[in-house]
Amino acid sequence: MSASTPAAPAVTGAAPARGTPATGPAAPADPRRTAARGTLTGIGLMLAGAVSVQFGAAVAALLFPRAGALGTVALRVTFAAVLLLAVTRPRLRGHTRADWAVAGAFGLALGGMNILFYQAVARVPLGAAVTLEVLGPLLLSVVAARRVAGLLWAGLALAGVALLGRGGFDRLDPAGVAFALGAGAMWAAYIVCGARAGARFPRLDALAIAMVVAALVSLPPGVASAGARLLDPAVLGLGLVIAVMSSGVPYTLELLALRRLPAATFAVLTSLSPALAALAGYLVLGQGLSAAQGAAIAMVVAASVGAVRTGGR
């Protein structure tokens, strides 16, 4: 989506020697140890989802010449919605209007994030697009943590973006830059709304409902842009692969991670996204990086990792 992970809470007390027979009733599980395991599980889920989504985005760029950015988004989100509905079969009764409002906001954030991000990837290299996009979650983490150190890490991230500019940022398409920053804002909204929706709906019901909303948002512009090209068997097949890699797998893992991690920690765990996007862009799309661009991405990653450590303490 590991260079570093939040420090696990310290566990006090010595463990019994291996092979020592148990005497008396079993001691209750240490809640701090259980919390640590839950945190590590959440981190693993988040990182696995990040790898899937970045390589899925690189594969999606291969579909742009056939279906365009909007058509690719429509296929990705619609296939993901169908798959999630078939797997989760969400319960639609027993929810309040407030529940549906939260799920609807989650879906709008999800759809908007996808549309804006693919518009950015169609105009700027994948690594640069994700580096700009990740500023949204990073800003969210700084605001949520409310620590002075968070401002220092945010400053380091902005310095990385400035260095990215010196490495060729000024030659990037201005519209692509604006789309990437807009996707970052929607990403932050996705994190907040996802956490709230996950608390109101059981299992993965919130994600399935949100994906349907995102599909309804994405389909009209996608159909208007690509038209009958969306029905080409090759386009449909690649769209299904992209849906699994970029939506179904990562969003499922991320929603599960949100139930184990604070929103601020989840946000800054996206720190590896620019590096993974640059790697995917190089391996799949042949998009190389200059030394300055590589250093800029490393600075943004380091800033997010530092924010993770600060939040962990």
Q: Distance (Å, rounded) from C-alpha 114 to C-alpha 72?
A: 10
Which parts of the chain have pLDDT scores under 70?
Answer: 1-38, 141, 144-150, 162, 164-171, 263-271, 289, 304-305, 307-313
Q: How many domains does the chain have?
A: 1
Inside any domain, residue 52: yes
Domain assignment present for 146? no
Cα–Cα distance measured from residue 19 to residue 157, given in angstroms and rounded to the nearest whole number: 50
CA distances to 80, 181, 242, 257, 309 from 74, in Å: 10, 21, 11, 26, 37
Q: Tell me what pLDDT residue 46 has.
A: 83
Any domain includes 15: no
The span from the CA of 310 to the CA of 291, in Å, is 28
Does residue 58 belong to any structural domain of this protein?
yes
Residue 124 domain-assigned (yes or no): yes
Residue 111: predicted pLDDT? 93
Could you tell me the sign of the dihedral formed by the alpha carbons of 143, 148, 153, 155, in that order? positive
Q: Is residue 206 part of a domain?
A: yes
Residue 17, domain member (yes or no): no
C-alpha span between 253 and 261 (Å, rounded): 12
Structure letter (DSSP) for residue 246: I
In-domain check, residue 253: yes
Query: Could you give the percent of the chain with pLDDT greater than 90?
Result: 24
The pLDDT tens digits for 16-54 are 333 334 444 544 556 666 666 667 788 888 888 888 888
For the question of whether the overall pTM of this predicted structure is more than 0.75, the answer is no
Enclosing domain of residue 228: 47-136+172-259+269-278
